[in-house]
């Protein structure tokens, strides 16, 4: 699948410009939709978690044309999430909450192209992270 890199970056820039606290709003959205997820975040202060998510999103966007970097780093991230008690179903929770957060921040300027590009990339990220997750689960 070819990613629409321009729409991904433009949509992210739009959302971030409109909502500088994007990752904070994302976690609020996630916890409203799935309050049971909150328990997974008790080890790390939310400010730190928000910063780590922001850094991960920026790094992924910076490496969209580098498939090997994405495969390697997202598999490692998926393996770490297996250790935290994340389940495969939770990846869909995160994708849904992130899409809603981005669309909400983008408002009327959030286009179908942005929504489709982000849906595609989140499915790809989920697949790459689950590959690492499954390897980690097999090793346990």
Q: How confident is the model at residue 83 (pLDDT cuts 50, 70, 90)?
A: confident
Whether pLDDT at 68 is above 90: yes
Higher pLDDT, 6 or 84: 6
Instruction: Write down the domain spans for the chain.
Output: 5-139
Yes or no: say if 95 and 122 are a contact pair by the CB < 8 Å rule: yes
Mean pLDDT for the stretch of residues 34-44? 94
Residue 1 confidence (pLDDT) above 70? no
| Residue 138 pLDDT | 82
Q: Quick one: pLDDT at residue 135?
A: 87
Which CATH number is associated with domain 5-139? 1.10.490.10
CA distance 106 to 115: 10
pLDDT > 80? residue 8: yes
pLDDT digits 0-9 by tens, 96-137: 999 999 999 999 999 999 999 999 999 999 999 999 998 888
């Amino acid at each position: 699948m070819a990613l629409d890199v321009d729409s991904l970056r433009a949509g992210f820039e739009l959302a971030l410009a409109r909502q500088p606290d994007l990752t904070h709003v994302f976690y609020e959205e996630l916890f409203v939709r799935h309050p049971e997820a909150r328990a997974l975040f008790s080890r790390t202060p939310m400010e730190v978690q928000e910063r780590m998510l922001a850094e991960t999103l920026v790094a992924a966007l910076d490496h969209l044309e580098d498939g090997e970097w994405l495969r390697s780093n997202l598999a490692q991230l998926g393996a770490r999430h297996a250790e935290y008690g994340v389940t495969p179903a939770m990846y869909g929770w995160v994708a849904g909450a992130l899409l809603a957060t981005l669309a909400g921040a983008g408002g009327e300027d959030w286009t179908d192209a942005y929504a489709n590009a982000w849906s595609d990339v989140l499915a790809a990220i989920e697949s790459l992270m689950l590959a690492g997750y499954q390897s980690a689960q097999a090793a346990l």
